[in-house]
Amino acid sequence: MISIGIQGAEVIKTAGSFLLASHMHPDGDAIGSMIGLGLALRDIGKNVAIISGQPVPPSYHFLPGSEMVSTPQGVHGRRFDCGIVLDCTGLERLPEEVNKLFDCCGTLINIDHHVSNDFFGAVNIVDSSASATAEILYQVLSALKIGISPDVATNLYAALVTDTGSFRYQNTTNRCHLVASLLLERGADHHLVQQCLNEQKTLASIRLLQKGLSTLSLDQEGQVAWMTISRLNCLDEGCRMEESEDLINYPKSIAGVEIAVLFKEIGDHEVRIGFRSKSFADVNALAGRFGGGGHMRAAGCTVKGTLQEVEALVIDAARDYLQKKREVL
């Protein structure tokens, strides 16, 4: 069980206005956590603004309350008693214009489950054993006796589903299932979440998968597998880069692979890298070599350079990491 601390509980109870935000390119946990907490606070009469650097991707528009998420410009000049940053390792991962807004907040609360969290808040509710930030939020709301409506439950449940890959990843624990069960009891719409998250893919995103699979590579030892998505491929298919999020599961699903890597060209000489590991490799440490981080089994970083340069650099580092592991054994 996590501890909110007396200060955290006091702040949430007494503050009248809240500003909620999460990391750049928000994923399902970030979005579901922001909206879920936003709705729960609004239900008890609090004034809540939710801001995001990027608009909520269309695939998450089904979430009840998704219209609450606005741009930083929407709250410009307002002051808030409390700022809550969700699912974010450090303030530098907030979009710059969002980060600035937190200067206009009273107490800053940091709620997260990444091992690499740097405890930037005045109050830090961080538990790296939680499968998702939403799992921590469920406990925070329960401890504060804040009611969980079916809409709040659906948001938190969707967050759990995305961060655990529909309860498949290694972060799926007894507590995660317990929280999922309690959310279903409170009216979370399982069918809606599964259908909207897993069965609403665009034809374009499947075509992007086709192109991505043509780049699938495996190292000599058969332990590192990777794929690349270029901006041109995205453009050709009329896809947004976010639609390539799940593609990393394909290299990861190959027998014998320990580290899977997905390279996404996000700008001129800028590549976003996703890492997954299957059973022993610490990809948080690997991503850390390139200024990124995350979790033991899932992490990411952004590296400057062309796709080819970055691919060579990062795959070398991954192979080198596994080579050193083999030497130890």
Q: What is the longest distance spanned by two Cα atoms in the chain?
A: 59
Identity of the residue, 163 or 258, whose beta carbon is nearer to Mn ion in the bound complex: 163
Give Cβ neighbours of residue 301 (< 8 Å, ≥ 6 apart): 272, 273, 275, 287, 288, 290, 291, 292, 293
Residue 29 found at the interface with Mn ion (CB under 5 A): yes
What distance in Å separates the CA atoms of residue 68 and residue 82, rounded to the nearest whole number? 17
Residue 311 found at the interface with Mn ion (CB under 5 A): no
CB of 32 to Mn ion, least distance (A): 9
Of the candidate spans 8-16, 130-138, 147-155, 222-230, the one that interacts with Mn ion by CB under 5 A turns out to be 130-138
Of the candidate spans 5-13, 27-35, 71-79, 272-280, the one that interacts with Mn ion by CB under 5 A turns out to be 27-35
Of the candidate spans 42-50, 74-82, 87-95, 247-255, the one that interacts with Mn ion by CB under 5 A turns out to be 87-95
CB of 312 to Mn ion, least distance (A): 30
Q: Shortest CA distance to 157 belongs to which of 9, 304, 149?
A: 149
Residue 237 found at the interface with Mn ion (CB under 5 A): no
Provide the 3-class DSSP secondary structure of residue 82: strand
CB of 131 to Mn ion, least distance (A): 8
Contact 314, 303 (CB under 8 A): yes
Identity of the residue, 46 or 113, whose beta carbon is nearer to Mn ion in the bound complex: 113
The helix-helix angle for 133-143 and 28-43 (nearest 10°) equals 20
CB of 101 to Mn ion, least distance (A): 21
CB of 234 to Mn ion, least distance (A): 24
- Residue 56 is classified by DSSP as P
Identity of the residue, 87 or 189, whose beta carbon is nearer to Mn ion in the bound complex: 87
Identity of the residue, 29 or 311, whose beta carbon is nearer to Mn ion in the bound complex: 29
What distance in Å separates the CA atoms of residue 315 and residue 329, rounded to the nearest whole number? 21
- Residue 231 is classified by DSSP as H
Residue 163 found at the interface with Mn ion (CB under 5 A): yes
String marking each residue 33-72 x if it binds Mn ion according to CB under 5 A: ----------------------------------------
CB of 29 to Mn ion, least distance (A): 3
Of the candidate spans 18-26, 44-52, 163-171, 257-265, the one that interacts with Mn ion by CB under 5 A turns out to be 163-171
CB of 163 to Mn ion, least distance (A): 5
The number of residues in the chain equals 329
CB of 267 to Mn ion, least distance (A): 24
Instruction: Give φ, ψ of 14 to 5 degrees.
Output: -90, -25
Hey, which residues does 50 pair with through a beta bridge? 20, 69
Q: What angle do CA 187, 190, 196 make, to 5 degrees?
A: 130
Instruction: Count the alpha carbons within 13 Å of 99 in the hemisphere toward its beta carbon.
Output: 11
Binding-site residue total for Mn ion (CB under 5 A)?
5
Identity of the residue, 133 or 223, whose beta carbon is nearer to Mn ion in the bound complex: 133
Residue 245 found at the interface with Mn ion (CB under 5 A): no
CB of 231 to Mn ion, least distance (A): 26
Candidates 38, 87, 272, 297; binder of Mn ion (CB under 5 A) is: 87
Query: 200 to each of 54, 59, 235, 310, how far by Cα in Å?
Result: 21, 8, 20, 32
What distance in Å separates the CA atoms of residue 260 and residue 280, rounded to the nearest whole number? 13
Identity of the residue, 29 or 265, whose beta carbon is nearer to Mn ion in the bound complex: 29
Burial class of residue 326 (count of CB atoms within 10 Å of its CB; 0-12, 13-18, 19+): exposed
Name the residues that contact Mn ion, by CB under 5 A: 29, 87, 132-133, 163
